[in-house]
Amino acid sequence: MGSPARPKGSVYIATSLDGYIARADGSLDWLDHDSGGDDYGFAAFLDSVDTLVMGRTTFEQVLCFDQWPYGQRRFVVMSRTRQSFTVPDHVTATIQVSSASPRELMVALGGAGARHVYVDGGQVIQAFLREGLVDEITISRLPVLLGDGIPLFGGLAADVALKHVATQSFPSGVVQSKYRTAG
């Protein structure tokens, strides 16, 4: 009997026009812009996902949102330090903390039946890219320049070739591009 298939790994993220995913202090206040009521396809994307993997720092930022946007999906917070953090009661049942490597985590998630994993958080995305575990990237570039902050992409041991799937512009000025990894 073969090992379970590795789940699909997808990134769905917003960046400033100059490529930052957060301010230097980690804040996301710049994401508040007039979207004209458009969610840029996020709800449809989230409906396709059964598991989320997020870094601890990003998770702590998400906890500041007015409402929990992820429902009751399986949710893994990656943390190398096992540093304690508070999880609100309404999401406690779905949260798991892991210090496993991205590859070990994806193998475990595949064994637990995960089919589509949403990977989020700058360092986590970079680690999954380095290990070849990202199959699809959707980047929404917002019309704002931050000038400094936390970049989406960091150093890689080798190029990551991508195939362009589609680009769409929205009346709010957001430009969204979707790519698949080429290998």
Q: How far is CA 73 from CA 6, 29, 38, 48, 178, in A?
A: 18, 25, 23, 11, 23
Specify the pLDDT at position 11.
Answer: 97
Neighbours of 26 (CB within 10 A): 14
pLDDT at residue 82 in the model: 58
Residue 68 pLDDT grade (very low, low, confident, very high; cuts 50, 70, 90): confident
Confidence bin at 41 (pLDDT 50/70/90): very high
Nearest CA to 75 out of 118, 123, 110, 136 is that of 118
Helix (H, G, I), strand (E, B) or coil at 48: coil
Residues, the chain: 183
Predicted TM-score of the model (pTM): 0.90
pLDDT tens readout for residues 71-113: 888 999 998 765 566 666 766 667 888 889 999 999 999 999 9
- Structural domains in the chain plus CATH codes: 8-149 (3.40.430.10)
pLDDT confidence of residue 137: 97
